[in-house]
Structure 1
């Protein structure tokens, strides 16, 4: 049975999935030439070279893949695996007013009529009862057969930062479900001298850099903490985008919104040890909560999910 944590009532607005907005949690894979919005700066545009005798443009390092299973307690090696998830559309419930606490976007009024909103817009709610993470591996979801121009089916990417371990202990009656590796306190004489500057065993003037220094920020271990629900975020993606969750990133299981299922090819590492491959946390509304963690999903008359927060969003906030 997964560990559970109490949660307040909180409603999350939907943002557009972009490389810059998602950088804290992982990477977005998309063709920069066909992206429906200009990149904010060159940091998020992969380098490209000509390939296939000039008939193709090859973008380099479009996502970050990490295998951190050397940190797992079991030390069992992992292998690269590729699976397919056929994700059916999620059930949404009708919109109803709520006194939910503000999310990281502030006290956005989801219940007040917005002059810029379409009169035919449909407001619905998606409940988030569980989050999961893969502490020692990245996980890439690649949608198949979904047109970038299809308005009737999209998917939500719901992610949360990680709380410090000290804060996590105050929010649940059990220890955080992260199998942190054991760090031996005693070191051999060789280990002590190996850390000296200069090293007696090499010609280097300093020890080699940590393996983590070469990793993208989203790839680095997140620590043993529980999800930071006050800063949970929800992004909407279309068929032109794939997404990579950074190792240890708390996220909801893939949520398809629309008329039909989406086939995802999923690439990750796994070693077959349950608690090292995947960890889950149940979000249970506390005694004073009306509903728990909820994504507010607003769609236009064609069924396209509307962006309500972030760049380009038209929202009305309570002042």
Structure 2
């Protein structure tokens, strides 16, 4: 039975999916020449070389697959797996006034009378569950979706991780992702080690963590619950794939539009269910109208409008 946690009532606007805005959570994989990010927000493109007898450009190391199952309690090794998810469009409910708080990422006016001069339509997507894969990255690659497709897109919904101490207060039980206990050595060497980090060398500082050289999005997130007050939602086009960093809380893929999207999903797995994937059920207050909600604004053609963050200014994607 998945762990549950109380959910506040918050309405979240949609942001443009760019590597800069998503860097806390993982990697956006796209051809730099087709990026929708404003020039001022674009990161340096990955290294590129000529390939296939000069008929192709090879972008090198566009995302980093991470396997940290060595930290899993079972110590069972993982293998690379590739699955396919055929994701049907989600049902959205009509927009209606609410006493929900605006997201801290919004910077927009949530006045119900503000409807972009009647040229846009707002619907609501309820987020009832989040999941994460604590010991592996997970990459979603859409298939058969055009960059210019206005009628079908997908949402990428993510949340930071709370400290473990705060997580325990939320549920009155340990966080859902167990971490291996560090066995304390009681040897003479260990006793002397407390006096100086490296008693048998001239080093004055302990060696750096094996994860210190990794980008923050790639480092283990810890066993804490999701930080719902800082949940964010991004809209992706057909030329964008996304890698969730190991342990990143995210909603199951949410397709918006007229037809399903096929995703090829690449990750590591060891077959231990609690280590491969854990879920958290979001339970709003019984007296509240709603819990965590993403506001999906679209134009007359069905294209999702960006309402927050980079390139918003109520501009079309």
- TM-score, normalised on structure 2? 0.92
Residue 82 of structure 1 is matched in structure 2 by 82
- Counterparts of 2:49 and 2:113 in 1: how far apart (Å)? 49
Residue 46 of structure 1 is matched in structure 2 by 46
Q: 1:25 to 1:141 in 2, by over 3 A?
A: same
Residue 216 of structure 2 is matched in structure 1 by 217
1:1-319 alignment, distance < 5 Å: 1-40=1-40, 43-105=43-105, 108-114=108-114, 117=116, 119-186=118-185, 188=187, 196=198, 199=201, 209-314=208-313
- Counterparts of 1:39 and 1:314 in 2: how far apart (Å)? 16
* Alpha-carbon shift at residue 146 of structure 1 (Å): 0.3
Is this contact kept in 2: 1:10–1:101, CA < 8 A? yes
Q: 1:42 to 1:241 in 2, by over 3 A?
A: closer
- Counterparts of 2:29 and 2:117 in 1: how far apart (Å)? 31
- Counterparts of 2:300 and 2:187 in 1: how far apart (Å)? 68
- Counterparts of 2:81 and 2:218 in 1: how far apart (Å)? 18
Is this contact kept in 1: 2:93–2:125, CA < 8 A? yes
Unmatched runs of 5 consecutive residues or more in structure 1: none
* Alpha-carbon shift at residue 140 of structure 1 (Å): 0.2
- Counterparts of 1:214 and 1:311 in 2: how far apart (Å)? 28
Query: CA offsets per residue over residues 17-38 of structure 1, 9 Å max, x none?
Result: 0000000000000000121334
Q: How many residues align?
A: 311
Which stretch has the larger CA shift, 212-221 or 34-43?
34-43
Is this contact kept in 2: 1:64–1:216, CA < 8 A? no
Is this contact kept in 2: 1:8–1:288, CA < 8 A? no
Q: 1:188 to 1:79 in 2, by over 3 A?
A: farther
* Alpha-carbon shift at residue 118 of structure 1 (Å): 5.2
3-state SS of paired residue (1:170) = helix
- Counterparts of 1:187 and 1:23 in 2: how far apart (Å)? 41
Is this contact kept in 2: 1:86–1:264, CA < 8 A? yes
Which stretch has the larger CA shift, 151-160 or 181-190?
181-190
Unmatched runs of 5 consecutive residues or more in structure 2: none
C-alpha RMSD of matched pairs (Å): 2.2
* Alpha-carbon shift at residue 112 of structure 1 (Å): 3.2
Is this contact kept in 1: 2:107–2:308, CA < 8 A? no
* Alpha-carbon shift at residue 175 of structure 1 (Å): 1.5
Is this contact kept in 2: 1:89–1:256, CA < 8 A? yes
- TM-score, normalised on structure 1? 0.91
- Counterparts of 1:52 and 1:208 in 2: how far apart (Å)? 43
Which stretch has the larger CA shift, 283-292 or 63-72?
283-292
- Counterparts of 1:58 and 1:187 in 2: how far apart (Å)? 52
Is this contact kept in 2: 1:101–1:107, CA < 8 A? no
- Counterparts of 2:266 and 2:227 in 1: how far apart (Å)? 26
* Alpha-carbon shift at residue 273 of structure 1 (Å): 0.3
3-state SS of paired residue (1:143) = strand
* Alpha-carbon shift at residue 217 of structure 1 (Å): 0.9
